[in-house]
Homo-oligomer: A and B are copies of this chain.
């Protein structure tokens, strides 16, 4: 039976570490600038019903570097989805074409899970509304593992819009698979992490703050996400808060130790470009690691004979 990647909750620690080892080997292999030949009979279909660059492109690069075929579903407005076809019918139809993997992004929470119950191939959740983005979490935690040589024991700050972001929830679930993790959620009360996320990470030491300056420990990682203006009913409140959620060298210099800075990208104003030159800035490495981690995931789902 096909395996699916629906939620960061679904992984076991050993499985994650095995995936990281595979990603590390693929990183070395891909750095040789060779196209492997291991996925030559396999087809991956990207279905992005919401705009995307990084996720779509990194899955595409990953599959092509493995030697496989990629077929893009096309932007929603150029497809029959515009004619009013139901999600179920679209998925059934795609399955008829016998791809090996469907990578699905949708505005709707639970879309990937619904798809996985319809199709016979593997489904990978590439973002379902505000709910989850498990492959993002995999590349995020992979990057931490690469920087620190381990994940156990890390103190991670997660900052920005935690309520409506799918990245903070998947990251939290994945970190919770490791030991002695503490997470510091830094957000205005209106945008703090959702209760349903907390209920799924009971073994994590959780701390909540409304400003970065309130964090009283030395963070290993500061994971920044966007604070979206449109989420605020009170625009004056947004203006007042904005400064505390813009990660600049000034803000970082107030910390006792500058943590590894991460961001899922794209960024707008919440992460100043002056930070880019700091050795702690790892967000472009994160983006790069997306290719290796997703290639490792594809290899695992398809049992490919990778290096």
Contact = CB atoms under 8 A, between A and B. Distances in A.
Which of A93, A268, A288 has most B Cβ within 10 Å? A93
Interface stretch (A7-15, A58-66, A160-168): A58-66
A56 B33 CA distance: 24
Given A90-B53, A93-B287, A268-B85, A71 B80 contact: no
Interface string A40-61: 1111000010011110111011
Interface string A52-93: 111011101100110001010111011111111110111011
Contact of A89 (B34, B266, B288): B266
A28 to B, nearest CB: 13
A27 B194 CA distance: 49
A284 interface: yes
This chain's copy number in the assembly:
3
Contacts of A43: 61, 64-65
Which of A54, A273, A285 has most B Cβ within 10 Å? A54
A130 interface: no
B51 A73 contact: no
A75 B57 CA distance: 13
Given A75-B75, A85-B266, A97 B291 contact: yes
A267 interface: yes
A275 to B, nearest CB: 12
Interface string A91-102: 011101110100
A284 B92 contact: yes
B73 A75 contact: no
Interface of A: 30, 33-35, 40-43, 48, 51-54, 56-58, 60-61, 64-65, 69, 71, 73-75, 77-86, 88-90, 92-94, 96-98, 100, 265-268, 273, 284-285, 287-288, 290-291
